[in-house]
Amino acid sequence: MALIRPRLTDHYGILRSQAELDFAIPFLDEDIPLYVDPFMLWRSPSQQDRSLHTVLLNAFNHLGYLAKNGLEARAVENLVAASECEEVGLGTSANRRGKRIGREKANEIVSLFKRIPQYGRAGFRHIEEIQFFVDGISKDRISDLTCSFLKSFLIDFTLQQSEKLGIPTQVTDVNNVYDDRKNAFETQRGLALPAHPRTGSPLLFVPKRWLRFVPWLNYDDYFEKYCPQDEISHSPEELTRVEVLNYNREHYGVIDHYIEVKERTFEDCHNDPLFSQIPVTFAKRKLSTLQRLATGKDGGADRKYETLVGQLLPSLLYPKLDFAQEQARTESGVSIRDLIFYNTASTPFLADIHRHYGSQQITIELKNVAAVEREHIDQLNRYLAEELGRFGILVTRNPLKKAEMRRTIDLWAGQRKAIVALTDLDIAQMVELFESKQRNPIDVIIKKYTEFRAKCP
């Protein structure tokens, strides 16, 4: 069985968790659901990041210079080239492929330099400002433009990180790398970069510190809090985006004010983590709901149980285990819900599981039943193979009965597969440890595994 939601590092057997690394680990089959926010470069205390922001602005404002000097076609061509940066794989695409903007849209952006006198005279202070004037430009496009203009830096960053971690590279060509001496995009040939294992296309890493779910300067924030909606329309509830954008073009001062306010409050702008744990109070509330929940399926109790455990465990086990995804599978007509975690061997126990059971990923199967039956053990047993390894966790309500415990011991004796059961009491203890921080919640799994192994022959 193939890895679930494979990441580049897992593919190459590089055992590092996301929390340890400076860049967002690329997924092989989908994009990372975050975006580069150029404001993070502007507000950074690092001179390097701020210089990169200047490079970005110079490159973007050069489009205005071209437009003003009758070279609109070249400006449009550059902008179209910059509008997609597939190598970084950020956004929501399910196949790591995006579309460039059309020439018409590019023309509309380039025309801002002529249409808005301030931009014609002094250029943009933040490239995100284009969202307030041109329809169809949002966080993904801003992110791609930023990455394209800074691709040369991202290549260096990727080379450095690959070397540090020992990520295999292959010699490849990278298209559309911006050369700020020529102010043009060109193809850089013969670069040793990590490549997608199937397609062979080059991959670029992006520093985690630049990533946010939405840019600090964004249309929705502007529209909700700063846009003079009453002034634009007598019936603000019917206000369309295009009307607001048209208004903005004629009233640059409103946008200017918005940018000033956002620049002043820059200290509130932080990068978004790729995963954030739920707060302790939230975890305790989830646990208390879980403990009151009936076993079985009545009233959708099984679904509620799966949701609650699905919300708790990724937070309780972070950062020792990175959550991959929740997965539904059907076996013999029975719907089964699993939580899959990447095993980066971040503790001696997890390294042991990785080595002895071949678990590159760890499967946790959820069962809201009063008593686990033999078939439940067998379902998980069949699932434990190849990359998922021979170690699995069954999260259920009560301890295994003698016969089922015997079955798990027999599986270890016969096939060297380990199935450990966590009950409500164990989850409660994990939540308690999550709150007290005296031990790590994963220690509960270690305890259960130690108890299990003590029973094995």
Partner 1 sequence: MVMKSEGDVKRLEKLIGLLQSLHAEISQLTRKSANDGLNIFKLRIVNKILAEADTILLNEYKPLENFAGFEEDALPTNSDVTMVLALYMEQAERFRSDNVVYADYEWNYVVNGKSSGIESSPPSTIGAHKK
Q: What is the largest CA-CA distance in the chain?
A: 83
| Range in contact with partner 1 (rule: CB under 8 A) among 2-10, 18-26, 211-219, 426-434 | 426-434
Q: How far is the CB of 199 from partner 1 (least distance, A)?
A: 44
Q: How far is the CB of 274 from partner 1 (least distance, A)?
A: 28
Q: Which of 432, 452, 455, 457 binds partner 1 (CB under 8 A)?
A: 432
- Output the CA torsion 127→130→131→136 (10° steps): -120
Q: Which lies closer to partner 1 via its Cβ, residue 40 or residue 316?
A: 316
Q: Do you know the residue count of the chain?
A: 457
Output the CA–CA distances (angstroms, integers) from residue 279 to 312, 423, 433, in the order listed: 10, 22, 13
Q: How far is the CB of 439 from partner 1 (least distance, A)?
A: 4
Q: Residue 336 and residue 334: Cα distance in Å, rounded?
A: 6
Helix locations, 27-100, DSSP H: 38-42, 47-68, 72-82
Task: Report which of 204, 148, 156 is spatially closest to residue 177, judged by C-alpha positions.
Answer: 148
Q: How far is the CB of 438 from partner 1 (least distance, A)?
A: 4
Percentages (nearest 5) of helix, strand, coil residues in the chain? 50, 15, 35
Residues forming a β-bridge with 185: 178
Contacts of 298 (CB under 8 A, 6+ apart): none
Answer yes or no whether residue 433 interacts with partner 1 by CB under 8 A. Answer: yes
Q: Which lies closer to partner 1 via its Cβ, residue 160 or residue 450?
A: 450
Answer yes or no whether residue 351 interacts with partner 1 by CB under 8 A. Answer: no
Answer yes or no whether residue 436 interacts with partner 1 by CB under 8 A. Answer: yes
Q: Which lies closer to partner 1 via its Cβ, residue 233 or residue 440?
A: 440
Task: Report which of 210, 177, 189, 159 is spatially closest to residue 86, judged by C-alpha positions.
Answer: 177
Q: Which residue has the tokens 């270890």?
A: 412
| Range in contact with partner 1 (rule: CB under 8 A) among 247-255, 280-288, 380-388, 428-436 | 428-436
Cβ burial of 447 (10 Å; 0-12, 13-18, 19+) is middle
Q: How far is CA 344 from the centre of its chain?
A: 17
Q: What are phi and psi of 379, to 5 degrees?
A: -60, -45
Q: How far is the CB of 393 from partner 1 (least distance, A)?
A: 16
Q: Determine the 3-state secondary structure of 331 from DSSP.
A: strand
Binding mask of the shown chain, residues 46 to 85, with x at each position contacting partner 1 by CB under 8 A:
----------------------------------------
Range 123-142, binding partner 1 (CB under 8 A) = none
Q: How far is the CB of 367 from partner 1 (least distance, A)?
A: 23
Q: How far is the CB of 450 from partner 1 (least distance, A)?
A: 5
Range 266-305, binding partner 1 (CB under 8 A) = none
Q: How far is the CB of 454 from partner 1 (least distance, A)?
A: 10
Q: Which of 439, 452, 455, 457 binds partner 1 (CB under 8 A)?
A: 439
Q: How far is the CB of 440 from partner 1 (least distance, A)?
A: 9
Q: Are 261 and 226 in contact (CB under 8 A)?
A: yes
Q: Residue 9 and residue 212: Cα distance in Å, rounded?
A: 22
Answer yes or no whether residue 443 interacts with partner 1 by CB under 8 A. Answer: yes
Q: Which of 429, 452, 456, 457 binds partner 1 (CB under 8 A)?
A: 429
Q: Residue 126 CB: number of other CB atoms within 10 A? A: 22
Q: Which of 234, 328, 438, 457 binds partner 1 (CB under 8 A)?
A: 438
The tokens for 404 are 């089922």
| Range in contact with partner 1 (rule: CB under 8 A) among 13-21, 24-32, 231-239, 429-437 | 429-437
Q: Which of 132, 444, 452, 455 binds partner 1 (CB under 8 A)?
A: 444
Q: Residue 384 and residue 412: Cα distance in Å, rounded?
A: 12
Q: How far is the CB of 313 from partner 1 (least distance, A)?
A: 17
| Range in contact with partner 1 (rule: CB under 8 A) among 37-45, 135-143, 274-282, 436-444 | 436-444
Task: Report which of 315, 347, 18, 94 is spatially closest to residue 8, judged by C-alpha positions.
Answer: 18
| Range in contact with partner 1 (rule: CB under 8 A) among 18-26, 196-204, 317-325, 444-452 | 444-452
Q: Are 75 and 110 in contact (CB under 8 A)?
A: yes
Q: How far is the CB of 429 from partner 1 (least distance, A)?
A: 6
Q: Which of 245, 405, 409, 428 binds partner 1 (CB under 8 A)?
A: 428
Interface positions with partner 1 (CB under 8 A): 349, 428-429, 432-433, 436, 438-439, 443-444, 446-447, 450-451
